[in-house]
Structure 1
Amino acid sequence: MNSAGPEANSGPAERVTRRMKEDELTRVGLGDLVKMPKRILSALTGPIPVTRSQAIGVSERLSAVTALTSSLEYLAQRKQFRRGGLNHWPTMARGVQGPPVFRKLLNAISREKVTTGLHVARIAVGAGLLLPGQARWRGAGNLFLGVTTAALYPRHRYGTDGSDQVSILVQTATGMARLSTRPQTQDALLWYVALQANASYLISGWMKLLGRTWKDATALSGIMRTRSYGHEPTFELTKKYPKAAKHLTHGVLALECLFPVVYLAGGRLARPVIASAGVFHVANGLVMGLGRFVTAFTSMHPMVAYTSTPRTHPSVADRDDRFLFVGAALLAGAASLAGVVAAQRRMRTLEGWPHSSYLTTRHGNELQYQRSEGDDPALPVLVFVNGLASTSEHFAWITEKITQESGYGVVTYARAGYAGSKYRSTAPYCLAESVDDLVDLVRGVVPEGRKVVLVGHSLGGELARRAAANMGERTQGIVYLDSSHPDELNRSNQQNKAAESVAVLMNTMARSLNAGLGILLARPDWLEALPASCRTRVFAQYTDARLWEAGRREWAVVQQEFRAFDGTLPAVDAHALVISAQQTVDRDPEQLLMHNEIAEMHRAEGRYVESVVLEGADHDSLLTSARFATEAGRQIVAFLDGTQAADAPQVRVTEEAGQ
């Protein structure tokens, strides 16, 4: 037996050939190993090529699952339609506004049998849309789901969590795309949904950046510990692995803020970004119980994939992208219009009233004010101090009541940065600066020797209290209108929890309005309750970033100073009227205790002190509602008359001593 191996039976030429083949195989193996990471990277990155038909088909089926799921959920929870349930229509209908025809239609749809019938029909249509096919009847089915989702939305506004709005968008767009025979129209609709998807992620992400919890990565653990969306096992994991939770939180933030990068570099980031967004929604469904979010938001992803694929790819070679350019042109036009509207509102904000005057304070701030002398120069002048992110026109009902039914003088003004007042101080802001401005205003505007009554709402009440200490005997009294207390952030759990929300609101409004989004703001209900002569001017201030920037500056300092308060209110040698809004003290009894403390610091021999709870009023309607504000004005006039009577014996004693 020959044991020398195969090479012993072969010639030199064969051995050389065999070795060359072995070397070639070795090189091929090494080449595959070198190319493996590139292949993996190529599989994980790049566009997601889907055709127009595929994008419409996948989107409509995912949206159909959303409709099917929601209707099955509502039918399984029919007890919520009845008395005591979250969706009991007679209870919910009280808060519905709109034309009578709209309300009648809602009442008809919201009958239990009609609502049940619509949900049964939606289940049938949704199940039908899950079947294979490209027939045009599917367009009618999608539109039916979109219309009924919109019609039932007011009926089920508790529990929708935003998924219904996305469903309406996708169902309407896919329905119209199915019914259209023009590829250009279909592409325009797909682009419309894709841009809406990008906007939803982008805006959500950048809005999160306005809050502290997302930036310091405590948002995830905070959400997981809530009753509505919390998940205890996940919360425990965030405590056990804080670094991982931090990276995950910042990762979600980056995903939302940077979602439009799917359109960059030839769509190379489309796969990881869209896949990450899908995982994000699946996690929300599993952990937070937002099951409908999974199919609702991912139903927009096929359209994002379709529009982010380069047109050089065969699957989208015939795509019509003109809608993108039309949208850009419309956006540019809307931005120009928003800029013009913002400029007009800024001019209206700055110009003030025809009788406005100006005074420069020791800090260089220029205050815009309005003054009414009153009928009797012997009577005190009332100086009104507005609250945080509020206007001097909020006192309109009260000042109207006082000027018409008494002889007292009235001064209203805007703090530095509000309305037409200019903030020009170069030193770091503190509340003492606003107090100094108020003192300078009184000394510069109210005639020497004439007494002053300070009237402050909310934060304005605290500023009035501090200013009174600097004005000495000129302060006859202070009226506190649902006033702030310097210890409220420490003592009131409700106020403490709301502090972060207030900061986020100020940041959101300031940045949104600076971005020109004021044109999108609707007129709030409280605005329509103000006197008609004030509404346009107040709305101009409300939609101007200056008011919110001033409020943001003040609120940052308020939080610092209030949290550092030592808990002792010094006595104030002046008469006092403390008016509390009933809804304020009912929601937070600690507020009533603090308002009582404000009244107590004024109690002394010869001082007239009253405390009133205005029944039915809340913190804002105390000023904006004609009924509540007029009653507050009546209380103020009665209080002023009481202070005159309280001071009268002292005047007589002084005169007798002089004789």
Structure 2
Amino acid sequence: MLMAIRATELLFAWSLFIQTLEYLRMGKATANEGLWSWSLQRADIPNASARAWFDVLFKPRVHQLHLLLRLLAAVWLAAQGASLPLIGFLFVGNLLILIRWRGAFNGGSDFMTLVVLTGLLISQVVSVFANPQRGWQAGFWYIAIQAITSYFMSGSVKLLRREWRNGSAMTVFLNGAIYGPLSATHPLRNTWLAMLGSWGFIVWEILFPLSLLDPRLAAVFCTVAALFHFLVFWFFGLNRFFWAWLCAFPAIIWCSAQFSTQVLGL
């Protein structure tokens, strides 16, 4: 368990560090005269009292200070590990950032960041009332179930869509990628090859719950997932997507080891 804990802390700290640097680099865009000015976005908050509080919290200088503290908190997490005050600060701060960006800045990466952060919060809260081992067990299972379910649902949705079953969706997405559109001679212009790749992802995602049967199988599923997320980063530039999902892998592998030995008796 100690190895899984440390791997989760380090991966999450790195992921959070990258995200926070990106937010800091967007200082001009989020300033009062910027493209994503809070003076425009505040209209989404219907409650006047809440809007007044957010007006203070989302002032450019206050927001920048929060991001700097978040950066230091990520470094502290990597150096000293998780604690209830530290994770509590990061959790509340993450909710504020989600509100600042109307719920999500980068879709899937924001979702998994919140999932892992919630798992870390669960681990720390439960540790107060029980013990650290029970706390991390609860946190890891929360992260693993959320991640595995997400893969399964993603594959199921693809299976229901004809454009994914015939492979055309993959070509459409890659045409809109950083290096798109695909050249006329690109292998994925071949209908059968595109369909084979599409079905490969569909089957892999739908079968992801099988990763709980054995930690070695979980490692294989997570390795394929890492390759998939790296390809998403390579073709679409979603670097935070790659690191955010990697944070869930130690929990998946650890829960697989627990499930296969304690439940299946293998």
Instruction: Kindly indicate which of the two structures has a greater share of residues assigned to strand.
Output: 1
- Matches of 1:169 and 1:161, distance apart in 2: 13
Q: After superposition, where does 1:112-191 map in structure 2 within 5 Å? A: 112-131=60-79, 133-134=80-81, 138-157=83-102, 159-178=105-124, 180=127, 181-191=131-141
Does structure 2 conserve the Cα–Cα contact (< 8 Å) formed by 1:81 and 1:89? yes
- Matches of 1:210 and 1:311, distance apart in 2: 30
Instruction: Say yes or no: does 1:217 pair with 2:174.
Output: no
Q: Secondary structure at the match of 1:79?
A: coil
Residues 310, 119 of structure 1: CA spacing in aligned structure 2 closer, same or farther, 3 A cutoff? closer
Instruction: Say yes or no: does 1:75 pair with 2:20.
Output: no
Residues 85, 246 of structure 1: CA spacing in aligned structure 2 closer, same or farther, 3 A cutoff? farther
- Matches of 1:68 and 1:82, distance apart in 2: 21
- Counterpart of 2:234? 286
Q: Secondary structure at the match of 1:191?
A: helix
- Counterpart of 2:56? 108
- Counterpart of 2:179? 232
Residues 120, 210 of structure 1: CA spacing in aligned structure 2 closer, same or farther, 3 A cutoff? same
Residues 257-286 of structure 1 show CA distances to partners (whole Å, capped at 9, x for unaligned) of: 11101123x445212211101111111112
Residues 380-423 of structure 1 show CA distances to partners (whole Å, capped at 9, x for unaligned) of: xxxxxxxxxxxxxxxxxxxxxxxxxxxxxxxxxxxxxxxxxxxx
- Counterpart of 2:218? 270
TM-score when normalising by structure 2: 0.85
Instruction: Kindly indicate which of the two structures has a greater share of residues assigned to helix.
Output: 2
Instruction: Say yes or no: does 1:205 pair with 2:155.
Output: yes
Letter in structure 2 aligned against 1:213? E
Residues 5-45 of structure 1 show CA distances to partners (whole Å, capped at 9, x for unaligned) of: xxxxxxxxxxxxxxxxxxxxxxxxxxxxxxxxxxxxxxxxx
Q: Secondary structure at the match of 1:232?
A: coil
Q: How much has 1:297 moved relative to structure 2?
A: 1.1
Q: How much has 1:58 moved relative to structure 2?
A: 1.4
Q: How much has 1:241 moved relative to structure 2?
A: 4.6
Instruction: Say yes or no: does 1:64 pair with 2:10.
Output: no
Q: How much has 1:105 moved relative to structure 2?
A: 2.8
- Matches of 2:112 and 2:52, distance apart in 1: 26
- Matches of 1:111 and 1:225, distance apart in 2: 39
Structure 1's unaligned 5+ residue stretches are 1-51, 322-659
Q: Alignment identity in percent?
A: 25
Q: How much has 1:83 moved relative to structure 2?
A: 5.1
Q: After superposition, where does 1:359-508 map in structure 2 within 5 Å? A: none
Q: Secondary structure at the match of 2:160?
A: coil
Letter in structure 1 aligned against 2:17? L
CA RMSD after TM alignment: 2.4
Residues 312, 96 of structure 1: CA spacing in aligned structure 2 closer, same or farther, 3 A cutoff? closer
Structure 2's unaligned 5+ residue stretches are none
Residues 108, 243 of structure 1: CA spacing in aligned structure 2 closer, same or farther, 3 A cutoff? same
Q: After superposition, where does 1:239-254 map in structure 2 within 5 Å? A: 239-254=188-203
Does structure 1 conserve the Cα–Cα contact (< 8 Å) formed by 2:84 and 2:124? yes
- Matches of 2:91 and 2:162, distance apart in 1: 37
Could you say which structure has the larger radius of gyration? 1
Residues 168, 105 of structure 1: CA spacing in aligned structure 2 closer, same or farther, 3 A cutoff? farther
Q: How much has 1:172 moved relative to structure 2?
A: 2.9
Q: After superposition, where does 1:331-342 map in structure 2 within 5 Å? A: none
- Matches of 1:188 and 1:117, distance apart in 2: 33
- Matches of 1:77 and 1:115, distance apart in 2: 11
Residues 93, 233 of structure 1: CA spacing in aligned structure 2 closer, same or farther, 3 A cutoff? same
Residues 218-260 of structure 1 show CA distances to partners (whole Å, capped at 9, x for unaligned) of: 111111222xxx1335733354554333222211111211110
Q: Secondary structure at the match of 2:28?
A: helix
